[in-house]
Structure 1
Amino acid sequence: MKALKKIGIGITTTSVVGLLLLAPFGKAAATQEVSAANAADFYKAKCTACHGAKAEKKFDATLPEDQLVDAVLKGKKAEKPPNMPSFEAKGVTADQAKGLVAFMKQLKSSAGN
């Protein structure tokens, strides 16, 4: 009986430790999927009118990431209207802006632009 109890405790301990070690990886993967989905939804709702379905208009993917993120957050005056609006004022965080920029770069490269 004591031997079975020790085996049960050993299995439980091993399972709990295994779950604790793997939990961060599962959570990170799920967060990345949600972030990509959110970026796609945000882009479709807020960006396609000016930048096109494949980020082919008014988006220079060769600019440094910090400049692109800053344009998303702070907005940017265009040579002619419409101007890029500030999304920071609408609650977009720097991490969300980075995710959006990454999504736009991927979208543009997959379109061959």
Structure 2
Amino acid sequence: MSRNGKHPLPKLLHGQEQRVYGDSAYASQKALIRDKAPKARDFTNQRTRRAGKVDEVARGKNRNKSKIRARVEHVFAVVKRLWGFTKVRYRGLAKNANRAFVALALTNVYLSRRRLMAQVRP
């Protein structure tokens, strides 16, 4: 890990990467990426607008990433708001894992409720 311990990037790179993607947290790690994976093309923190011009390819990629991120984040919002996962509580690893699995299973049912009800109704 890096000096401050919050970036696991050195342990994630093996040196044979062709591409490296990352968000703005990895933008400051460009030198490390070049050292660890010299053949890799760095796609961290790419911008969609340069000098007033819009890069339509990058814009499309960002739109696709946003759609995926929104679907994933919605699940976690439901878990936090409906089942009280706003604070971390230590109850033992088995109990914490069980609580998380049950909350995620309930979230799947909750988010699928309209499709499930449509199957029940004639």
Same-fold status (TM-score > 0.5): no
Greater percentage in helix:
1
TM-score, normalised by the number of residues in structure 1 = 0.30
TM-score, normalised by the number of residues in structure 2 = 0.28
Greater percentage in strand:
2
Q: Who wins on radius of gyration, i.e. which is larger?
A: 1
